[in-house]
Amino acid sequence: MLWTKTLIPTLREAPSDAEIVSHKLLLRAGLIRKLAGGVYTFLPLGLRSLRKIEQIIREEMNRADAVEVLMPALQPTEIWEQSGRAETAKDVLFKVKDSSGRQWFLSPTAEEVITTLAAGEINSYRQLPKNFYQISVKFRDEIRPRFGLMRAKEFIMKDAYSFDTADEGAMASYKKMFDAYKRIFDRCGVQNFPVEADTGVIGGKHSHEYMVPAETGENDVVFCEACGYAANVEKATSGIPKTAAREIGTAIEKFATPGVVTIEALSKEPYKVPANRQIKTLVYMKADRASLLDTKPVLILVRGDDQLNEAKLAGAIGTTVFRPATPDEIRKVLGASPGSLGAVNIKLNPTQEEIRGLIDWDNFEILADERLRGANDMTTGANEDGFHFKNVSIERDITVTQWTDLRTVSAGEPCGKCAKPLKIRRAIEVGHVFKLGTKYSEALNATFLAEDGSRKPCVMGCYGIGVTRTLQAIIEQSNDKDGIIWPMSVAPYTVCITPLAIAPESPVMQLAEKLYAELTAQGVDVIIDDRDERPGVKFKDSELVGFPIRIGIGEKSLAKGEVEIKPRAGAMLATKPEEAVAKVLTLIKELTPGAK
């Protein structure tokens, strides 16, 4: 390819709305252009890298026995009603109407479509296992699209879905994808590691995210250097001790705490109740179709020095549709304002506003974090502004309906496996493998005739890779002050030949064309920078775009019988023109990352 024939609009400065280095470099190197917030055009070089990443994904999916399909982006709403996600995913669903007024969704993912396909096409255990994948455009109405391709409204995802007859097979399918992902990200030349991930409302134990370490990532990963434990903070647990039990105090006692509405204030003079002897009471409203109100209050208890983890809460209450209650709602439910709340004797609270009559007190949910189990000698709000209870023994005085892990792990806590201190680092989630079980196959009737003649739902798994996000994550990780440093495997062109004279009859240009022809014949992707520009401009641009190898040909050095080979991240070496091709081929071999 000739530079002048393609479009590489490099920029000296990045537009001001690009905040992180990879976003700036995507724009400066002329790989993408913004059409609207979260919506981008891929220019020729960006597209070339994208296609290379897709090709690696394809090869590894095929190797792992997944078969490629292509599903529609336009999806009928009925299947989303059937799975229940028309409601639970409504915030990210792009909704479109056709001219007859019929509503459609633009695919944010495709569990519903593939399960519908399986319901029609898979009938017998003899057809299983199967794993289908596609690489296609996805749409999500992200509230805050940002960082370029990292969180876009329209992006490219590889999604795969496995179907098995039973759990055991489903685990094998899961493992195959887990291993394929490692190979994919290694081959893309990006540092990556799997972490245990939240399984949210679908539940189950098996979910891993593949992470790329980066300060600008949106995920916190908890990890242990000693034993290798690693988990998304949404899921991570630690070996932190439970609250120490003390001698059971006398019965609970109300005491006045005028103006005290924070854990911190209560820990100071004159009360001096340490945060770890306080119970923090939070009120959330969760979606509840059965209730008269559409939402239902839930009380959550965590220790005063702990933080509630909303991802864990979602798993515990079985829905992602929830929010903190407003002060007004809290007052109606508990009769007091935030800062004076508690779960002791809530039914006896004297406030009798209308809503209290609507609450099903017999089934009122009070969730408590495991760390509070057995705790006594605790202090908590009395549901009366300006008053707290002390001597609270949680199991004696509070009707906890569910004990579960609800707290967020912090750095320095002992690892739950080996007790060494845990660390936390930021990372970008590039892929997700998830054992789904039968949630979708049951909802959408993807059943098969088992060997024993019974009909069973397929056991499913789903596996996603953010292809465009991966492209940007590679750049976020691999760059320097001059620009991108592409791993060999995913560079838009592997070699950039930079002739410093461009007249067709000049020996410099003739050698450039010869090397181009020879390397191309060897299957190498080459571009010649045939622009009529100063050497400095050409060198700067080739560093900015980040081609892994540059071959510089100048009149002076050629007269000395030399051309210059410059690996993007290595030292320049002068070589004879006739040895250049062999040198470059060796370099490519040496520098190509990952398993083959």
d(CA 117, CA 444) in angstroms, rounded, equals 10
N- to C-terminal Cα separation, the chain: 27
The DSSP letter of residue 454 is: -
Minimum Å gap between C-beta 56 and ligand ATP is 15
Contact with ligand ATP (CB under 6 A) among 189, 338, 431, 594? 431
Q: Does 155 bind ligand ATP (CB under 6 A)?
A: yes
432 near ligand ATP, judged by CB under 6 A: yes
The length of the chain is 596
Q: With b meaning 16 or more CB within 10 Å and e meaning fewer, what string describes 405-422?
A: bbbbbbeebebbeeeeeb
Does residue 122 touch ligand ATP according to CB under 6 A?
no
Angstrom distances, CA of residue 105 to CA of 76, 78, 98, 298, 333: 6, 10, 11, 32, 37
User: For residues 85 and 390, which CB has a smaller minimum distance to ligand ATP in the complex?
Assistant: 85
User: What single string gives the DSSP state of each residue in 41-75?
Assistant: EEPHHHHHHHHHHHHHHHHHHHHTT-EE----SEE
Q: Does 142 bind ligand ATP (CB under 6 A)?
A: yes
Q: How far is the CB of 592 from ligand ATP (least distance, A)?
A: 24
Q: What share of the chain is helix, strand, coil (3-state, %, to 5)?
A: 30, 30, 40
Instruction: Give the contacts of 502 (CB within 8 A, at least 6 positions apart).
Output: 508, 509, 530, 531, 532
Q: Per CB under 6 A, does 492 bind ligand ATP?
A: no
Buried b (16+ CB within 10 A) or exposed e, 555-583: eebbeeebbbbbbbeeeeeebebeebbeb
Decide if residue 308 touches ligand ATP (CB under 6 A): no
Whose structure tokens read 């009559």?
357
Q: Which of 142, 365 has the CB closer to ligand ATP?
A: 142
Which CB, 142 or 305, lies closer to ligand ATP?
142
Tell me the closest approach of the beta carbon of residue 200 to ligand ATP, in angstroms: 9
Residue from 129, 464, 499, 567 touching ligand ATP (CB under 6 A): that is 464
Residue (230 or 500) nearer to ligand ATP, CB: 230
According to DSSP H, which parts of 387-458 are helical? 394-397, 439-443
Binding segment (CB under 6 A) for ligand ATP, from list 232-240, 424-432, 547-555, 572-580: 424-432
Residues 6+ apart with CB under 8 A from 590: none
Site size for ligand ATP, by CB under 6 A? 15
For residue 538, give Cα distances in angstroms to 29, 85, 111, 510, 545.
13, 52, 47, 18, 11
Which residue reads 């990210």 in tokens?
92
Gyration radius from the chain CA atoms: 30
Nearer to ligand ATP, 181 or 547 (CB): 181
152 touches ligand ATP (CB under 6 A):
yes
Among 469, 538, 550, 566, binds ligand ATP (CB under 6 A): 469
The single-letter DSSP state of residue 489 is: G
* 199 is a contact residue toward ligand ATP (CB under 6 A): no
Q: Which of 146, 151, 373, 456 binds ligand ATP (CB under 6 A)?
A: 151
Tell me whether residue 186 or residue 370 sits nearer to ligand ATP (CB atom).
186
Residue 160 one-letter amino acid: A
Query: Which of residues 160 and 375 has its CB atom nearest to ligand ATP in the complex?
Result: 160
Indicate which single residue of 30, 381, 466, 546 sits in contact with ligand ATP (rule: CB under 6 A). Answer: 466
Q: How far is the CB of 255 from ligand ATP (least distance, A)?
A: 44
CB of 431 to ligand ATP, least distance (A): 5
Nearer to ligand ATP, 86 or 497 (CB): 86
Please select the residue that binds ligand ATP; options are 224, 430, 459, 527, rule is CB under 6 A. Answer: 430
d(CA 224, CA 230) in angstroms, rounded, equals 6
Nearer to ligand ATP, 457 or 466 (CB): 466
Q: Indicate the residue whose CB is closest to ligand ATP.
A: 466
Q: Binding pattern to ligand ATP, positions 84-113, x when CB under 6 A?
A: -------------------------x----
The residues that touch ligand ATP, with contacts defined as CB under 6 A, are: 109, 140, 142, 151-152, 155, 157, 429-432, 464, 466, 468-469
